[in-house]
A and B are shown apart, each in its own frame.
Chain A
Amino acid sequence: MVAFYGTELSSRLMLGTAQYPSPAVLAEAFRRSGAGIATLSLRREAGGDQAGADFWALVRDLGVRVLPNTAGCHSAREAVTTAQMARELFGTPWIKLEVIGHADTLQPDPFALVEAARILTDDGFQVFPYTTEDVVLADRLLAAGCEVLMPWGAPIGTGLGLTNIYGLRTLRAQFPDVPMVVDAGLGLPSQAAMAMEMGFDAVLLNTAVARAGDPAAMAEGFAKAVAAGRLAHEADPMEPRDMAAPSTPVIGRAFL
């Protein structure tokens, strides 16, 4: 079991809800993956008069916990307003905080992120910040009241996997007790497995599943990889070494 802000979840896979061929395919992907959390964007869909309500109802019907996000927000103020709307709509203090700093790569704006995180936690939100692997930024986010971190694997939608393994390892090692979710940039189940083997608590992805030829099959593939990676982490893997290590002595040869 993994816990975020005191809420225990049996699945360590979170899925986004954008870009699927249809809501029916989205529902099938959730069913086959057993994902425990659905993220949902509001900024663009809300419109003038809660015009996105039909789709939100479909996401609620998935029967999983909804984690609204502030995707598409480019300033702290925009993100705070969107978070407040999300809390009203979904009756949850949870918010995945995204503040985009670079329109092309959708890289987070670290300064606005910390600012928005502080405002939101002061207001009673439980913030899941979408961040980079930067350790100093992580420290500031924790100081701002975040109790979960969501470092990226690679920029959103790239499917490049874990592009800075050293950075992610460092982050994990620096804050061993903070629940961390690798969010964004994963393209293949093997990359999700690797994140789990490294000791991250969960992964969140969207494009890799939604844009696969068979999203439901890909979702199931990710679920299995996440479970495998977690098992490996819990099993305390062997340390790699440079030469073969015979498990029984080789008679008559010099031991190295």
Chain B
Amino acid sequence: MTGPVTVTGAGVAGLCVATELAARGVSVTLRDRAARPGPHGCSWWAGGMLAPFCEGETAEEPVVRLGREAAGWWARQGVPVIRNGTLVLALGRDRHEITRFARRTTGHRALDRDALARLEPDLAGRFDGALHFPDEAHITPRAALATLHDRLVDQGATLDASPAAPSGITVDCRGLEARDTLPDLRGVKGEMIVLHTPEVTLHRPVRLLHPRFPLYIVPRGDGVFMLGATQIESGERGRPTVRSVLELLTAAYALHPAFAEAAVLEIGTDARPAFPDNLPRIRRRGATIHVNGLFRHGFLLAPALARMTADLICDNKNPEVMDEDHGER
């Protein structure tokens, strides 16, 4: 029987690890400086796209493979998973970007004007063609974090906001805060905007390809849309800039001019924790297991990392993403 485990950091990584451990009968204490998931963790600002195939355009192979576990995992936790796929579009003069994107990804089918109109009637006539990734999905990040949190409480997990040093096994999921012990971790700034308009309806995340400002827009339902996200080599965690906001809003307006009259509900920013190859890592150092570097793939990869972490703790099975192991047996 595995002894009690402390998970530090209640972002998407920590909550998924705690959930997976609790499901295997481990007594879990979740430590976070705030009582509930909130804006102090970068997953609060995420898009919630479960789009492993699209990410394959630039991400390495493990992201595509491990990310395929995500939709099923989230659904099993009682999180509403919308499985309408992803739509990839480009504006007129960037049309060749679609060809390039198609060449570098799998799991898509080409849509002509009519097929696109059937799938997303509000985009009818605005684009000549698109790619559809039918096996992709999306969730609402803040609701998903709250669901995991509340379930852990219901299952009797201990929540702890005190900074006391834990005893026993600790899983460190503090994201960028763990830079004190993981010097090769860096921040990659992202900015996002939440809009509301009753005039546009979309059923699935849309990615707009642009050579300089790639954008995605995720429908949250009830006329709410999340626009994301910039990717800037900077660890800055506040201060969304005018340039980034201009880029995001310009792209939204290009997707559908009705966004011009949308209400701006929120402008947010944070920095994603990433290692030099932008792939996640599990590192065991004594009684501490670090789970970090999920980069822009928090909701996509946290389920697979949680599974691997629980396998390591409960069954002593080495995770494929563990690059450092100074453990105690």
Q: Residues of A with Cβ closer than 8 Å to B? A: 21-25, 27, 44-49, 51-55, 58, 72, 157, 207, 211, 213
Looking at chain B's contact residues, the main secondary structure is: loop
Chain B residues near A72: list those with CB within 8 A. Answer: 243
Closest B residue, CB atoms, query A27: B276
Question: Out of A23, A51, A54, which one reaches B277, CB within 8 Å?
Answer: A23
> Are A25 and B233 within 8 A (Cβ)?
no
- Given A51-B234, A51-B235, A213-B104, do A25 and B277 touch, yes or no (CB 8 Å)? yes
Chain A residues near B59: list those with CB within 8 A. Answer: 21
> Are A51 and B189 within 8 A (Cβ)?
yes
A86 to chain B, nearest CB (A): 15
Question: Out of B211, B234, B277, which one reaches A55, CB within 8 Å?
Answer: B234
Besides the known contacts A47-B189, A49-B236, 11 further A-B residue pairs in the complex with CB atoms under 8 A apart: A22-B60, A23-B277, A24-B276, A44-B234, A47-B236, A48-B236, A52-B232, A53-B235, A54-B187, A55-B233, A211-B211
Is residue B220 contacting chain A, with contact meaning CB distance below 8 A?
no
Chain B residues near A47: list those with CB within 8 A. Answer: 189, 234-236, 239
Is residue B58 contacting chain A, with contact meaning CB distance below 8 A?
yes
Is residue B288 contacting chain A, with contact meaning CB distance below 8 A?
no
Closest B residue, CB atoms, query A210: B58
Which residues in window 270-325 of B have CB below 8 A to A?
Answer: 271, 274, 276-279
- Given A22-B278, A24-B276, A157-B211, do A58 and B186 touch, yes or no (CB 8 Å)? yes
15 A/B residue pairs, CB under 8 Å, sorted by A: A21-B278, A22-B277, A44-B232, A44-B234, A45-B234, A47-B235, A48-B238, A48-B239, A51-B189, A52-B234, A53-B235, A54-B233, A54-B235, A55-B234, A211-B211
Chain A residues near B186: list those with CB within 8 A. Answer: 23, 54-55, 58
Most buried by A among B103, B232, B243, B276: B276
Closest A residue, CB atoms, query B274: A22
Per-residue interface assignment for chain B, residues 116 to 135, with 1 indicating a CB less than 8 Å from any chain A CB and 0 otherwise: 00000000000000000000
Chain A residues near B239: list those with CB within 8 A. Answer: 47-48
Chain B residues near A211: list those with CB within 8 A. Answer: 211
Closest B residue, CB atoms, query A106: B212
Chain A residues near B241: list those with CB within 8 A. Answer: 44
Q: Residues of B with Cβ closer than 8 Å to A? A: 58-60, 103-104, 186-187, 189, 211-212, 232-236, 238-239, 241, 243, 271, 274, 276-279
A213 CA / B234 CA spacing, docked (Å): 25
Chain B residues near A48: list those with CB within 8 A. Answer: 236, 238-239
> Are A24 and B277 within 8 A (Cβ)?
yes
Chain B residues near A213: list those with CB within 8 A. Answer: 103-104
Chain A residues near B243: list those with CB within 8 A. Answer: 44, 72
A26 CA / B32 CA spacing, docked (Å): 35
Closest A residue, CB atoms, query B212: A157
A22 CA / B241 CA spacing, docked (Å): 23
Chain B residues near A55: list those with CB within 8 A. Answer: 186, 233-234
Most buried by B among A25, A45, A51, A52: A51
A68 CA / B235 CA spacing, docked (Å): 19
Chain B residues near A45: list those with CB within 8 A. Answer: 232-234
Most buried by A among B60, B189, B233: B233
> Are A51 and B278 within 8 A (Cβ)?
no
Chain A residues near B103: list those with CB within 8 A. Answer: 213
Chain B residues near A49: list those with CB within 8 A. Answer: 236
B248 to chain A, nearest CB (A): 14
> Are B278 and A24 within 8 A (Cβ)?
yes
A86 CA / B211 CA spacing, docked (Å): 26
Chain A residues near B233: list those with CB within 8 A. Answer: 45, 52, 54-55
Chain B residues near A207: list those with CB within 8 A. Answer: 211
A21 CA / B274 CA spacing, docked (Å): 12
A52 CA / B187 CA spacing, docked (Å): 8
Chain B residues near A25: list those with CB within 8 A. Answer: 277
Chain A residues near B211: list those with CB within 8 A. Answer: 157, 207, 211
A22 CA / B212 CA spacing, docked (Å): 16
A232 CA / B263 CA spacing, docked (Å): 60
Closest B residue, CB atoms, query A46: B234
A169 to chain B, nearest CB (A): 29
Chain A residues near B236: list those with CB within 8 A. Answer: 47-49, 51-52
Chain B residues near A44: list those with CB within 8 A. Answer: 232, 234, 241, 243
B273 to chain A, nearest CB (A): 11
A53 CA / B279 CA spacing, docked (Å): 20
Closest B residue, CB atoms, query A157: B211
B60 to chain A, nearest CB (A): 8
A10 CA / B162 CA spacing, docked (Å): 57
Chain A residues near B58: list those with CB within 8 A. Answer: 21
Closest A residue, CB atoms, query B237: A51
Closest A residue, CB atoms, query B59: A21
Chain A residues near B235: list those with CB within 8 A. Answer: 47, 51-54
A98 to chain B, nearest CB (A): 15
Chain A residues near B187: list those with CB within 8 A. Answer: 51, 54
A49 CA / B271 CA spacing, docked (Å): 14
Chain A residues near B104: list those with CB within 8 A. Answer: 213
A176 CA / B7 CA spacing, docked (Å): 66
A58 CA / B234 CA spacing, docked (Å): 12
A131 to chain B, nearest CB (A): 21
